[in-house]
Structure 1
Amino acid sequence: MMKKMISTTLLSILCLTVTACGSGNNNGNVKGPTTPANSPSAAAPAANEPVKNEKLIVYTNANSDGRGEWIIEKAKSAGFEIELVGAGGANLTNRLIAEKNNPIADVVFGLNNMLYENLKKEKVLTKYVPKWAGEVEPGLNDPEGFYHGLVKQAILLGYNPKNYTTETAPKDWTDLYKNPAFKGKYEAPTLLGQITPQLVVAGILTRHQDPKGELGISKEGWNEVKQLFDNGVRAVEGEDFYANLASGKTPLGAVVSGTLSKKEEQYKVKAGIVSPQIGVPMIVEHAAIVNGTKKKATAERFVEWMGTADVQGEFAAKFNSMPANTKAAAKANESVKALYSNLKAQPLDWGFIANNIGKWVEKIELQIMK
């Protein structure tokens, strides 16, 4: 009996000791109840411990011209270790979809609205709204909260100022094929495997949305696109359109805002820019978190850091871009600010475009450009 009592007493002491050891590391002074092991705050680091940032795999199509190296170094100084995997936007989109059941990437940035809509539809992205989302120009973020704007890119109709003045240049894409004076003077967007020509076409077709029309477009819309291709000069694979603009071979055509300054410097011709009343197709490079990442907390911290006005403003000044973050826009270079001061975004239904652009391209290539 005495032996049993001693054993029971020792067992009680042992239990008390284990409980005390498991109740937290606060110099033995426990303040308040013990946090249950399965509660959200159980895994949180102590206030005096640094946050642990795990290495992130980041997919992007926006790493050329030194941008990738810049973001790696800046991220490192902010406490992040990232590995960039760079490829074309369409290839990255296909890869992310193929990997969605076993994701490799943690974050994706760059890409455009159409590609993000495809990723969203395939449930590749997880919803996350960073604190800086409210600083982004209205209408640029995904309204459902899956992707948020970093850098704006405008698809512009440019002209050689030796051939046209502000008064004689077209006022809209539609003038190119409606005004006989421009017939054979512009490059038609025939290289439809590329995003820029696709957006030129989408910018015209979506003006004629019709749920009863073929592929959601009225007969009038398809007639206009046919005129666009019939009255222009076909683009040649491998040729630089800006060289043709500068030489006067095709003094009218599409230019992308992000490459404009380099092209002007290269060819010594500063293109005139058309500002249609309806606006211009404005694609935006976004940031998003990959659904299923095992490093979600670090991915969220990285996205929070990357889209801040400070980081985007510094990036804009370095790479001559226009940030989507309105607080960062003040740090953009003066020439970029001047360009965007006269531009507005054409209202576009990106979900509608993403769902139909492949079928539109197929119809154009098989029936209109034959």
Structure 2
Amino acid sequence: MSAARRLLAAAALMTAISCGDGRLPLVLYSPHGRDLLVEIERAWEQARPEVDLRFLDMGSQEVLDRIRSERANPQADVWFGGPKVLFSRAAKEGLLQPRRPSWAETVPASARDADGHWTAVYRTPTLIVFNREAVTAEEAPADWDDLLDPRWRDEVLIRDPLASGTMRTIFGHLIARADTPEAGFEWLRSLDAQTREYVHSPALLHEKLVRQEGLVTVWEMTDILGLIDRGAPIDYRFPSSGAPVIDDAVAIVAGARHAAEAAEFVDWLGSREALLLAAREAFRLPARTDLPASQLPSWAERVQAELRPAPVDWGRLEEEGADWMQVWDRSVRGRG
């Protein structure tokens, strides 16, 4: 997000906060998109009519950058959504308030911060996506390395990774799986040669894929299932060698103006009611392990059957991922 866009977004948010209707404003920063956020807003405000839930939708890396810039005067109460590596980085910088949700023990220990700064709400698999009107399921790339086939030269679209926690996770995995980081960057340089465009927003990425301005991309499951549900001519494959599955977290912002209300909201967000709502309406896979599979929507069956989670060194991604993206931006982007 450019500096001008950040200023405009901040001005819009502050205008909304200052022009209230007497209800208590609870502000979320989130990359989750309107499909989920509107459902969450509607359900929470029905349960708590005295609260005005407000959200600002942006990439998860942009959320982290924004919370950093607002550290002296926090504007958000809750950071809702993004890979745990970004939340861990924020916790180390003192940007998150430690507080364990009531449901924290129902998610794996690897999906929650030991000191309670963040907890995963959803599991978000990554995948390969293609336009099914131009590419058959048999022709579509079955694994990461298939993206480098000459067939896909100038047909790959990529969400710009500098603003996207999802793409940082995918690129980080592709670097870390190589014998050396240098070999990983060389692989990404080959992918760069296949790439038609690095797109600045998920919405634009989806539009271009539907219009066949590119035939293949990599992204995350929930957005893609939502597009398919609305009739978009796209389909997906989970990479056969394994797909990183993002522990999609939530946290209370340090210095939040409405910390008590934020804690109550986070408790509700991980409840059975809210998780099943998110699964039904926005294709979110719960991080909780105590929900029977029979309660989940039918789409989850295909996911559970086809998904092969990749082993990911999340600690290494947390420690080295930001530097890797700087190297990628300087020496890989546009140089394939």
Bin for the TM-score computed over the shorter chain: 0.7 to 0.9
- Determine whether 1:115 maps to 2:86: yes
Aligned with 1:152: secondary structure? strand
Of 129, 134, 137, the match for 2:100: 129
In structure 2, the residue matched to 1:341 is: 305
Name the larger-Rg structure.
Answer: 1
Distance 1:109 1:266, change over 3 A: closer
Q: Contact (CA 8 Å) 1:160, 1:251: kept in 2 or not?
A: yes
The amino acid across from 1:320 in the alignment is F
- In the alignment, the residues of structure 2 paired with residue 209 and residue 129 of structure 1 have an alpha-carbon distance, to the nearest angstrom, of 38
- In the alignment, the residues of structure 2 paired with residue 140 and residue 242 of structure 1 have an alpha-carbon distance, to the nearest angstrom, of 29
- In the alignment, the residues of structure 2 paired with residue 294 and residue 321 of structure 1 have an alpha-carbon distance, to the nearest angstrom, of 28
- In the alignment, the residues of structure 2 paired with residue 194 and residue 56 of structure 1 have an alpha-carbon distance, to the nearest angstrom, of 27
- In the alignment, the residues of structure 1 paired with residue 85 and residue 237 of structure 2 have an alpha-carbon distance, to the nearest angstrom, of 25
In structure 2, the residue matched to 1:95 is: 66
Query: 1:260, CA displacement in angstroms?
Result: 1.5
Of 138, 143, 148, the match for 2:119: 148
Of 239, 258, 273, the match for 1:275: 239
Deviations 1:197-248 (A, max 9, x none): 43332220011375xxxxxx2x322222222222444446689545565566
In structure 1, the residue matched to 2:274 is: 311
Distance 1:266 1:303, change over 3 A: closer
Query: 1:110, CA displacement in angstroms?
Result: 2.1
Distance 1:142 1:186, change over 3 A: farther
Distance 1:91 1:225, change over 3 A: closer
Q: Contact (CA 8 Å) 1:150, 1:307: kept in 2 or not?
A: yes
In structure 2, the residue matched to 1:203 is: 173
Deviations 1:117-172 (A, max 9, x none): 23112111122222312322563333443211123332211234566655554332
Gaps of 5+ in 2: 1-22
In structure 2, the residue matched to 1:225 is: 188
Query: 1:293, CA displacement in angstroms?
Result: 4.4
- In the alignment, the residues of structure 1 paired with residue 184 and residue 153 of structure 2 have an alpha-carbon distance, to the nearest angstrom, of 21
- In the alignment, the residues of structure 2 paired with residue 87 and residue 246 of structure 1 have an alpha-carbon distance, to the nearest angstrom, of 22
Structure 1 residues 47-196: aligned runs within 5 Å = 55=24, 57-62=26-31, 64-65=33-34, 67-79=36-48, 81-88=51-58, 89-136=60-107, 139-161=110-132, 168-177=139-148, 179-180=149-150, 182-184=151-153, 186-187=155-156, 189=158, 191-195=160-164, 196=166
Aligned with 1:92: secondary structure? helix
Query: How big is the alpha-carbon RMSD for the aligned residues of Structure 1 and Structure 2?
Result: 3.4
Structure 1 residues 23-34: aligned runs within 5 Å = none
Identity percentage over the alignment? 21
Q: Contact (CA 8 Å) 1:320, 1:332: kept in 2 or not?
A: no
In structure 1, the residue matched to 2:330 is: 366
In structure 2, the residue matched to 1:323 is: 286
In structure 1, the residue matched to 2:249 is: 286
Of 194, 208, 223, the match for 1:259: 223
Q: Contact (CA 8 Å) 1:58, 1:83: kept in 2 or not?
A: yes
Query: 1:259, CA displacement in angstroms?
Result: 1.8
The amino acid across from 2:178 in the alignment is H
Greater displacement, 182-191 / 257-266: 182-191
Q: Contact (CA 8 Å) 2:104, 2:112: kept in 1 or not?
A: yes
- In the alignment, the residues of structure 2 paired with residue 331 and residue 286 of structure 1 have an alpha-carbon distance, to the nearest angstrom, of 22
Gaps of 5+ in 1: 1-53, 211-216
Q: Contact (CA 8 Å) 2:243, 2:310: kept in 1 or not?
A: yes
Q: Contact (CA 8 Å) 1:322, 1:337: kept in 2 or not?
A: no
Aligned with 1:193: secondary structure? helix
Aligned with 1:276: secondary structure? coil
The amino acid across from 2:90 in the alignment is L
Q: Contact (CA 8 Å) 1:189, 1:200: kept in 2 or not?
A: no
Q: Contact (CA 8 Å) 1:58, 1:109: kept in 2 or not?
A: no
Aligned with 2:162: secondary structure? coil
Distance 1:162 1:95, change over 3 A: closer
- In the alignment, the residues of structure 1 paired with residue 277 and residue 70 of structure 2 have an alpha-carbon distance, to the nearest angstrom, of 33
- In the alignment, the residues of structure 2 paired with residue 315 and residue 190 of structure 1 have an alpha-carbon distance, to the nearest angstrom, of 24
Which structure is richer in relative contact order (CA contacts within 8 A, separation 6 or more)? 2
